Amino acid sequence: MDILRLDQVNTFVGVSHILFDICMKVNKGSITGLLGRNGAGKTTTLRTIMGIIPPTMGSITFKGEEIRSLKPHIIAAKGIAYVPDDRQIFAPLTVYENLIIGIPKRRENNPPRWTIDRMYELFPVLKRMASKKGTHISGGEQKMLAIGRALMCDPGLLLLDEPTEGLAPLVVVSLAETILKIGHEGVTILLADQNVNFARRIIHFGYIIDKGYIHFSAPMQDIWCDKDLVCKYLAV
C-alpha cells in the first residue's frame, strides 16, 4: 500500500521548468530512494512534496489525500517531516532545545512515540552533547540532530535530503544503521542521495532521476547490479 504518490508532477522554479511529469510512489513502511547526481532534481522533488515549491501541474497524495495545494506547515501537521540537506539547525539553541522544539501539541490520550530518552537511545552522541549550542557540534552531529528533531514530530513519512553529504565514511556507516533502525520502528522514509554505495545498504526500491525526469525505477538490488545504469546516472 502506498503512503505517498506523485502523478505527472511538473515544477517550475521561476521561469525554469525543473521537474517533468514525475510519477513515483512510496509504499508504507518502506525505505525508498530518489537517486541522482547533483542538480538532477532530487531536492526540488522533496521541496515540491513539502509544498515549499508548489507544483504547477500534477497530483501529490499522502495517505490518499491530495496535498498538492497545501502550505508546508499544514503538510507537516499531516505527518510528513523534512530534513533538508543544509540541516537548518537553530544555532543559538542547545541540542536539547533543538530537539524539544520539534515536539507538537498532543492530546493526553495520544502519547508520543518518540521521546527525548528514545532519541538519546537512537543517537547517544546527542545525549553527550545535550547542553552544547548548535554551532558547537560537528556536521555529522548536526545531521543526527536534524533527523532527531524531525522524528520528535512523530511523522508517518520522513523525507531525507542528501543525508550523507559532507560526512566522513565511518559516520556514513553509522548513519545507515540508524536509518535502518528508524525504518524498523515503522517510519516510512523517502531518501534522496547520490551515494549509491550508501543507498544499496538501506533502500528497498529506487527511482533514478536525471535532468528532472525519472529515467528508471526498480528494487535497489537490481539497480546496483546494472553497472551500465549506475555508470550512466549515478557514478561521480
Co-location of 164 and 111 in the same domain: no
Whether residues 142 and 185 share a domain: the answer is no
CA dist., res. 116 & res. 62, Å (int): 27
As a whole number of angstroms, the distance between CA 214 and CA 229 comes to 13
Nearest to 56, CA basis, from 65, 38, 44: 44
**Does the reported pTM lie above 0.75?**
yes
Radius of gyration of the chain (CA): 17
The residues near 46 (Cβ < 8 Å, ≥ 6 apart) are 34, 82, 159, 161, 190, 192
Share of the chain above pLDDT 70, in %: 97
142 and 160 in a single domain? The answer is no
Chain segment 29-41, per-residue pLDDT in tens: 999 999 999 999 9
How far is 138 from 80, CA to CA, in rounded Å?
Answer: 26
- Count up the domains in the chain and report the number: 2
Q: Please determine, for residue 92, whether its predicted confidence score (pLDDT) is greater than 60.
A: yes
**Cell numbers for 111:** 502519547
Q: Say yes or no: 54 and 106 in one domain.
A: no
Do 93 and 195 lie in one domain? The reply is no
100 CA to centre of own chain = 20
Task: State which of 136, 154, 172 marks the end of a domain.
Answer: 154
pLDDT at site 106:
59
Q: Are residues 63 and 173 in the same domain?
A: yes
> Please, are residues 152 and 102 in contact by the beta-carbon 8 Å criterion?
yes
Is there a single domain that holds both residue 143 and residue 208? no
* Chosen domain end from 134, 154, 174: 154
Do both 148 and 214 map to the same domain? no
Residues 75 and 159 in one domain: yes
Where b means 16+ CB within 10 Å and e means fewer, 184-205 reads eeebbbbbbbbbbebbbebbbb
Q: In what order do the strands lie in the sheet with 57-62?
A: 16-27, 2-13, 57-62, 65-66
CATH number for the domain harbouring residue 170? 3.40.50.300
Structure confidence by residue, pLDDT tens digits, 114-169? 889 999 999 999 999 999 998 888 888 999 999 999 999 999 999 999 999 888 88
Mean pLDDT of the chain: 92
Shared domain check, 230 and 176: yes
* 159-213 pLDDT, tens digit each: 999 999 888 888 899 999 999 999 999 999 999 999 999 999 999 999 999 999 9
User: In this structure, are 111 and 42 located in the same domain?
Assistant: no
Question: Does 73 share its domain with 92?
Answer: no
Domain that holds residue 14: 1-79+155-236
pLDDT at 104: 74
Q: For residue 79, give the C-alpha cell.
A: 505527518
- The pLDDT of residue 184 is 93
Question: Would you state the cell numbers that stand for residue 22, as one nine-digit string?
Answer: 514525475
